[in-house]
Amino acid sequence: MKELLARYSMSALTSAVCLFIVVIGAALLYRSWPLLSTYSLQEILTSQSWHPMRGEFGFAPFIAGSVAVTLMAIFFAVVPAILSGIYLAEYMSDRVRNVLKPTLDLLVGIPSVVYGLWGVLFIVPLVRDYIGPWANATLGQTIPLFSRTNPSGYGLLSAGFVLGVMVFPLVVAVTEEVMRATPREMREAALCLGATRWEATKLIVRRQALGGILAAVVLGFSRAFGETLAVMMLIGNTVQSPQSLFDTAYSLPALIANNYGEMMSVPLYESALMGAALLLLTVVLVFNIMARLVIVRVQR
């Protein structure tokens, strides 16, 4: 009876936690239904015009801003984080690892507002005074991605770099854990056959831990796509689709955080913000489901 009670109670608790996602999605759908019933989904997702006072609710600039800053963060963070995780798991001594591992955990737990302030005080002046003028002078004539500079320093590059710094320790920690979970016998078998340490890591450990590494990247993407405060402080919050790394933009989480509670008397305004939250939840869920299917395929 104790075994059955424990089994069914834990099963019920697990199901209740999973149902929270359904409840949240249903609540957001209910609150955003006035907007969805007034405008077509294609018009909402593709329109570039965001003028609530005139009844224009186009999410395209916010989608573009969220995707662009997330890709920037993934570009800055994923490869160095995976290599750092491999180094921590396979090459670093236990004494040094015991010092660095708590530091990584501390970086994961730092509030996002601290990262945002660091970006405002250090990264923004660096981009404004050095990186922006240099990129515009050397690369702007041939590469459109560097053709514009923002004198203020706020924009995709600043927000993406700080967001990459925030994602980095999370990906490192998960990668290190899954690499160390690989059975030691597999490494020893490869070494006994004459493989070097890097060959054993690359051909044996990496393949064994590939599913976990992909899961770490997915967690990093979810963290980056849903981050609000640090991005809101650095991205510039301008309703436009960015054309350059130095352009300002506007992300979906920043849209909700900046505007919810204001101008609620405007028709469909609250419904539009709830629609933005529903879109944000949908993108993260779809990406996680697709990534999970890829991980299962890779593990097979």
CA angle 133, 139, 141 (to 5 degrees): 100
Domains identified in the chain, total number: 1
Domain that holds residue 153: 63-260+285-299
The string of pLDDT tens digits covering residues 212-237 is 888 888 888 888 888 888 999 999 88
In a domain, 35, yes or no: no
Distance between CA 218 and CA 31 in Å, rounded? Answer: 28
Collapsing DSSP states into helix, strand and coil, what is residue 232?
helix
State the CATH number of the domain containing residue 227.
Answer: 1.10.3720.10
Indicate whether 95 pLDDT > 90. Answer: no
The string of pLDDT tens digits covering residues 235-254 is 988 888 888 888 889 999 99
Indicate whether 50 pLDDT > 80. Answer: yes
Bridge partners of 51? 56
Whose tokens are 């591992």? That residue is 101
Overall average pLDDT of the 126-155 stretch: 75
In a domain, 240, yes or no: yes
In a domain, 177, yes or no: yes
Indicate whether 149 pLDDT > 60. Answer: no
Distance between CA 64 and CA 241 in Å, rounded? Answer: 6
Q: Say which residue, 151 or 49, is predicted with more confidence.
A: 49
Q: How confident is the model at residue 128 (pLDDT cuts 50, 70, 90)?
A: confident
User: How many Cβ atoms from other residues are within 10 Å of residue 214's Cβ?
Assistant: 17
In a domain, 275, yes or no: no
Q: Is 155 left (phi over 0), alpha (psi -120 to 50) or beta?
A: left
Q: At what angle do helices 60-90 and 269-299 cross, to 10 degrees?
A: 30
In a domain, 249, yes or no: yes
Of 295, 300, 297, the closest CA to residue 211 belongs to 295
In a domain, 202, yes or no: yes
In a domain, 45, yes or no: no
Indicate whether 91 pLDDT > 60. Answer: yes
Overall average pLDDT of the 32-57 stretch: 88
| Alpha carbon separation from 275 to 27, 34, 218, 252, 270 (Å, rounded) | 11, 10, 24, 10, 8
Overall average pLDDT of the 261-273 stretch: 78
In a domain, 251, yes or no: yes
Q: Is 288 exposed, middle or buried (0-12, 13-18, 19+ CB in 10 A)?
A: middle
Q: At what angle do helices 210-226 and 156-180 cross, to 10 degrees?
A: 150
pTM confidence score:
0.86
